[in-house]
């Protein structure tokens, strides 16, 4: 029976239902270039079930993934201003408004406090969907306050880095965040509280040059691009090809810049295990201090 006769008889062909698939139901994997079902990826915590490629995850996605259940979001009312009246192809003030409407975010970072495996944890998570996760004054303030909560409430801090670097539209104000976050990390260290960094794809620029490389523990997701300048800029500056896999998390693990590479599907359990070890060690140290020295 021809296609026309089947259609006239009300018989559906194999291709007649193609438009019934919702928009965005199928997406192309950035790793294997295969077309994969969005629901399958979501079940795998946004990891491709075929090649283990890690898609970008939102800040709220990480909170939902890591925390035991309920958590409290902080500093969600901070909004960037336009101190320089900056304009390139579009006025910065208009870009902020448009990006807020598009993403539902106020800026490129969110902070929360909750429990993971029973341990209290302060998290600041960056979000690449908001102007490439660039660090402006709001992002720096969100990260700083998350660190401050750590030493005020005596709990570990986790920062999830995902950024193209400092936000040029805010000029020196964005660069100042590098010093501000680093200064507060000194106070956290002096209080004897651990600082954990999760490096995701990409982590570059001023974020890498400040808090992202100041952790007590540096964890990376597989295949993440981590560095200061991107590989294209370095290649053009040096005028030569770069080593294979240069600036990937695997390359940096080999060179000692990264402590662990953890698949996102195992991240929660591995973090709980790490916090268990840290807290156990802190208890043992306290016991040794209380034990009188042998005569």
Residue 77, exposed/middle/buried by CB under 10 A (0-12, 13-18, 19+)? exposed
Q: Are 200 and 55 a contacting pair, CB within 8 Å?
A: no
Q: Name the CATH superfamily housing domain 57-290.
A: 2-enoyl-CoA Hydratase; Chain A, domain 1 (3.90.226.10)
Q: What is the pLDDT of residues 244-279, one digit of tens each?
A: 888 999 999 999 999 999 999 999 999 999 999 998
pLDDT 10s digits, 98-144: 999 999 999 999 999 999 999 999 999 999 999 999 999 999 999 99
How is the chain split into domains, by residue range? 23-55, 57-290
Provide DSSP, 233-287. Answer: HHHHHHTSPPPTTTTBHHHHHHHTS-SEE--GGGHHHHHHHHHHHHHHHHHHHHH
Q: How confident is the model at residue 239 (pLDDT cuts 50, 70, 90)?
A: confident
Q: How are strands ordered across the β-sheet holding 217-220?
A: 71-74, 109-116, 119-126, 157-163, 195-203, 217-220, 260-261
Distance in angstroms (rounded) separating the CA atoms of residues 268 and 32 = 25
7-59 per-position pLDDT tens digit: 444 444 443 343 444 457 899 999 999 999 999 999 999 999 999 999 999 99
């Amino acid at each position: 029976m021809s296609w026309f006769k089947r259609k006239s008889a009300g018989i559906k062909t194999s291709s007649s239902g193609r438009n019934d698939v919702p928009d965005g139901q199928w997406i192309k994997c950035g790793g294997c270039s295969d077309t994969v079902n969005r629901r399958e990826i979501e079940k795998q915590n946004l990891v491709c079930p075929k090649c283990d490629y890690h898609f970008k995850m939102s800040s709220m996605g990480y909170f939902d993934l890591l925390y035991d259940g309920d958590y409290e979001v902080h500093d969600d009312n901070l909004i960037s201003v336009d101190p320089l009246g900056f304009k390139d192809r579009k006025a910065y003030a208009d870009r902020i408004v448009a990006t807020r409407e598009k993403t539902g975010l106020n800026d490129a970072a969110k902070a929360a406090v909750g429990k993971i495996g029973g341990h209290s944890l302060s998290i600041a998570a960056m979000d690449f969907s908001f102007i490439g996760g660039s660090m402006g004054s709001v992002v720096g303030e969100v990260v700083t306050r998350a660190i401050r909560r750590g030493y005020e409430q005596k709990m570990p801090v986790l920062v999830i880095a995902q950024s193209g670097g400092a936000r040029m539209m805010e000029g020196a104000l964005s660069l100042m965040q590098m010093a501000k976050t680093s200064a507060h990390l000194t106070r956290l260290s002096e209080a004897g509280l651990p600082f954990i960094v999760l490096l995701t794809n990409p982590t570059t620029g001023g974020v890498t040059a400040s808090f992202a490389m100041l952790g007590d523990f540096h964890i990376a997701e597989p295949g993440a691009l981590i560095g200061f300048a991107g590989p294209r800029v370095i290649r053009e500056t040096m005028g030569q090809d770069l080593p294979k896999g240069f600036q990937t998390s695997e390359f940096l693990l080999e060179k000692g810049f990264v402590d662990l590479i953890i698949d996102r599907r195992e991240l929660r359990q591995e973090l709980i295990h790490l916090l268990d070890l840290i807290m156990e060690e802190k208890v043992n140290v306290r016991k040794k201090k209380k034990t009188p020295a042998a005569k």
